[in-house]
Amino acid sequence: MSAAFPPLRDELRGIEPYGAPQLDPALVPVQLNVNENPYGPSPETAADIAHAVGEAATTLNRYPDREFVELRSALAAYLNGSGGSGITPEMVWAANGSNEVMLQLLQAFGGPGRVALSFAPTYSMYPEYARDALTEWHAGRRAEDFSLDLDAARELVLDKRPVVVLLPSPNNPTGTALPPEAVTMLCEAAASYEPGGLVVVDEAYGEFRRAGTPSALELLPQHRNLVVTRTMSKAFALAGARVGYLAADPAVCDAIRVVRLPYHLSAVTQATALAALRHAPELLGRVDDLRVERDATVEWLRREGFEVADSDANFVLFGRFAERHAVWRGLVDRGVLIRETGPDGWLRVSIGTAEEMTAFKDALLETVRQTS
Ligand code: PMP
Give the start-to-end residue ranges of the domains of the chain: 21-39+286-371, 45-280
CA of 31 to the centre of ligand 1 (A): 17
Contact 118, 163 (CB under 8 A): no
CA of 208 to the centre of ligand 1 (A): 14
Beta strands in 294-342 (DSSP E): 307-308, 315-319, 336-337
Give backbone dihedrals phi and psi of 211, rounded to 5 degrees, phi first: -55, 140
Residue whose CA lies nearest to ligand 1 atom number 8: 34
Region of 212 (left: φ > 0; alpha: ψ -120 to 50; beta: rest) is: left
* pLDDT score for 259: 98
CA of 207 to the centre of ligand 1 (A): 13
The fold of the 45-280 domain, in CATH, is: Aspartate Aminotransferase; domain 2 (3.40.640)
* pLDDT score for 5: 83
* 158/228 Cα distance (integer angstroms): 21
* 303/305 Cα distance (integer angstroms): 5
* pLDDT score for 2: 65
Residues with CB under 6 A from ligand 1: 35, 97-99, 123, 168, 172, 202, 204, 231, 233, 239, 244
Taking the mean position of all CA atoms in its chain, how far away is CA 146? 17
Give the chain's residues under pLDDT 50.
Answer: none
User: Which one is the CATH code of 21-39+286-371: 3.40.630.10, 3.40.50.300, 3.90.1150.10, 3.40.718.10?
Assistant: 3.90.1150.10
Taking the mean position of all CA atoms in its chain, how far away is CA 83? 18
* pLDDT score for 83: 87
* pLDDT score for 141: 97
